[in-house]
Copies of this chain bind each other. A is one copy, B any other.
Amino acid sequence: MICGRTETEFMDEVKKFHGFVAPGLLIGGYMVDIARKKIGENVEADAIVESAHCLPDAVQILTPCTLGNGWLKVLNLGKFAITLFDRHTFKGCRVYLDLKKLEAHPNIYNWYMGLVSKKDLPKEILIGAILEAKKDILSSKDIIVRQHGERNKKSKVIVCGKCNEAYFASQGDLCLACQGKDYYEEITV
């Protein structure tokens, strides 16, 4: 289930809005579902996506946050992660693709890291792998949003030596977040 819909219902909505079922958008659906439940279904939430690819549409389909109403912000951090946060308290939840967990799902791992061609990994197989993995490839953290502005561009995907998340090589030796340019603080429980 993704925000109260079956996966089939969600994929129908994706087709209608996004034009086609993109693997990243399906993963994004599970991410929104996790974040929504974590911060509480009734909290008035703003959204931040850390990439302009696919993720904005997951948020726009599943939440009231859109680019045009300003409740969705797009930061080009080049990461596959979303944050939903309470617009009054700035407390929220950041959900991200967990590369460690992804190792148990080689098709998804290879697709995300750009290690396999579309020819060698047909979309149906990839989508099938995602529908099987569901939320097993994701992790989340409670956070407080403290700033958001414009960030960097995309290039080759590599792994950050500090946080172990994938990021775009053009940003430098560490991901932008680990360079101190993130927009949140982790809440240590």
Residues of A at the B interface (CB closer than 8 Å) are 17-20, 22, 25, 52-58, 60, 64, 66-71, 74, 150
Q: Which of B17, B19, B20, B69 contacts A19 (CB 8 A)?
A: B69
New A-B pairs, 4, CB < 8 Å, besides A54-B69, A57-B68, A58-B68: A18-B68, A57-B66, A57-B69, A60-B66
Which residues on B sit within 8 Å (CB–CB) of A55? 68
Copies of this chain held together in the complex: 2
Within the complex, what minimum Cβ distance (angstroms) separates A51 from chain B?
A: 9
CA distance A67 to B52 in the complex (A): 7
* Residue contact B18 to A66, C-beta cutoff 8 Å: yes
CA distance A54 to B69 in the complex (A): 6
Chain A contact residues, majority secondary structure: loop
* Residue contact A56 to B52, C-beta cutoff 8 Å: no
* Residue contact B25 to A52, C-beta cutoff 8 Å: no
Could you show 30 A-B contacts with beta carbons less than 8 Å apart? A17-B60, A17-B66, A18-B66, A18-B68, A18-B69, A19-B66, A19-B69, A19-B71, A20-B69, A22-B69, A25-B68, A52-B67, A52-B68, A52-B70, A53-B68, A53-B70, A54-B68, A54-B69, A55-B68, A56-B66, A56-B67, A56-B68, A57-B66, A57-B67, A57-B68, A57-B69, A58-B68, A60-B66, A60-B68, A150-B150
CA distance A60 to B18 in the complex (A): 9
CA distance A68 to B50 in the complex (A): 12
Which residues on B sit within 8 Å (CB–CB) of A52? 67-68, 70
Residue of B nearest to A73 (CB): B52
Which residues on B sit within 8 Å (CB–CB) of A67? 52, 56-57, 60, 67, 74
Interface hub of A22, A68, A71 (most chain B Cβ within 10 A): A68
CA distance A59 to B20 in the complex (A): 17
